[in-house]
Amino acid sequence: MTGTDGPRTRRTARLAAVPVLALAVAGAVYLIARSVTPDYTTGLFGQHLDDAVRLKAWLATVILALAGAQLLLALWMYRRIPGVSAAPPAVARVHRVTGVVLFLCTVPIAVHCIQTYGLELTPARAAVHALSACFFYGAFAAKVLVVRSARLPGWLLPLVGGLLVATIVLLWYTSALWFFNGYQSPGF
């Protein structure tokens, strides 16, 4: 064993903790959702059936817009927008607050989906949506871990953040677009 094996081993362990945490959280959400007996009469903020689906579609659209804002703010903070000057410190705070609001907007939707539908694996659209939702919470937990650790590689944060944005787009596509398009998603 050389003198560099210890730090390399610790770095590998920290890096391995990210997908382990993501899979643990996603798996927990999956198992909880699979254990629920669906109750199709469950309401969301006093809305039921199609009205609840409409409300979730609009909330998902807000979440999509917030994810777009998150992406732009992150690109600005990390100076990845050509021709744009360095972001002032307030941008980081706005990014953080926007992320918290985005996450909080997902919770009532997830709770309603789990209580109402459990975890449906048919048809294909519902399976993609449900599994993507589980993945979202795992990826979110991983992003929080990555943001809090200065000892992880620099490429990991944009990777996890990008996966979160892509997952939100997929969730919106399989839910809000499906609703706005008359309960039909292109490609499913």
pLDDT band at 187 (very low <50, low <70, confident <90, very high): confident
Q: At what angle do helices 89-117 and 49-77 cross, to 10 degrees?
A: 150
- In this prediction the pTM is 0.92
The SS3 of residue 62 is helix
The SS3 of residue 54 is helix
DSSP state of 150: T
Residue-wise pLDDT for 6-34, tens only, equals 778 888 888 999 999 999 999 999 999 99
The SS3 of residue 81 is coil
Whether cis (ω within 30° of 0) applies to the bond prior to 123 is yes
Question: What is the Rg, in whole angstroms, of the alpha carbon atoms belonging to the chain?
Answer: 19
Burial of 149 (0-12, 13-18, 19+ CB in 10 A): middle
Residues 131 and 159: their CA atoms lie apart, in Å, by 19
Q: Which two tokens stand for residue 143?
A: 């992003």
Q: What is the residue type of 75? A: L
Residue-wise pLDDT for 83-117, tens only, equals 999 999 999 999 999 999 999 999 999 999 999 99
Residue-wise pLDDT for 56-74, tens only, equals 999 999 999 999 999 999 9
Bridge partners (DSSP) listed for residue 47: 44
Q: What angle do CA 62, 65, 67 make, to 5 degrees?
A: 110
Percent of the chain predicted with pLDDT > 90 = 88
Q: 146 Cβ partners below 8 Å, 6+ apart?
A: 18, 152, 156, 157, 160
CA 79 from centre of chain: 23
Residues 45 and 82: their CA atoms lie apart, in Å, by 43
